[in-house]
Amino acid sequence: MSVKQEPSGRRSVQVEVLVRGTPEQVWQAIASGPGISAWFVPSQVDGKLNGTVSCDFGGGMVSSAKITEWQPPHRFVATDSTWLQGGPPVATEWTVEARSGGTCLVRVVHSLFASTDDWDNQIEGTEHGWPGYFRVLQHYLEHHAGQPSTAFVGMAPSPLPAPATWSTMVTAFGSGDPQVGQPLRITAPGLATITGKVHAIDHVPQGTAMMLLVDAPAPGVVLASAMECMGMQMATFQAYYYGAKAAAAVADQDGWRQWLAGLFPPPADVPPGA
């Protein structure tokens, strides 16, 4: 995977995924606030030309993009002028193409215009991040489409390098070296236990991520990662719950955020001259 460069100065990355569902079902998942929130991050969508797409990544990081093209249920484009601080606007194009067997191909393309490669690493980092989220999208559409859903995201800066951040997280999960297929039981004082099984582990240039399919406190997915983000090491814990128990399952979200932050206390200040 790499940034595609064109003579016009357009630079872009592209990621695709095959999912189950009709174009209308898939459109609901990628182009509405409740749909996006069910597999990505808490989001709000004003679905119309010149409307907005707002995504809350946690830790006070909220993006807002203006919808410049809107063609349901097959295509929309939203442009974010603040994503790259001091950089050019980034246009994100989403398309849905019906395929055989009751499936659709979802494609996302991030593009910008620049005469230098100053921003390539940031859009390429986004390219590496989509496959993990697209697994959640596949799981959601295949098993939980149309069900009630709730989600939360917790982020904590880590003073440790990425490998040590990851080791700290998985040790807290009760596993020093998790493997695909391994059952996990995540516990914390005063919080409902999360139980599930490791579905996937990704090693990307920015760090490591893991996807759990969970059965308690409600059916759903947990994502955990230790990644470099905008020059900082970040630990992230995201939970998506579906069905009748989904609303109750997120009652502990503030507790899980505090638990995550407690794994990575800031370094103690050293008095001058000590």
pTM metric for this prediction: 0.92
Say if strands 43-45 and 232-242 run parallel, antiparallel, or are unpaired: unpaired
Q: What does the block give as tokens for 219?
A: 């059916």
Q: What does the block give as tokens for 212?
A: 């759990």
pLDDT, tens only, 128-149: 889 999 999 999 999 999 899 9
Query: Which residue segments constitute the domains of the chain, with CATH numbers given?
Result: 4-144 (3.30.530.20), 149-262 (3.30.530.20)
d(CA 246, CA 44): 19
Peptide bond into 217 cis (omega under 30): yes
Beta-sheet strands, E only, within 57-101: 62-71, 75-80, 90-99
Sheet holding 10-20, edge to edge: 4-5, 10-20, 103-113, 90-99, 75-80, 62-71, 52-56, 43-45
pLDDT, tens only, 89-106: 999 999 999 999 999 999
Q: Are 3 and 110 in contact (CB under 8 A)?
A: no
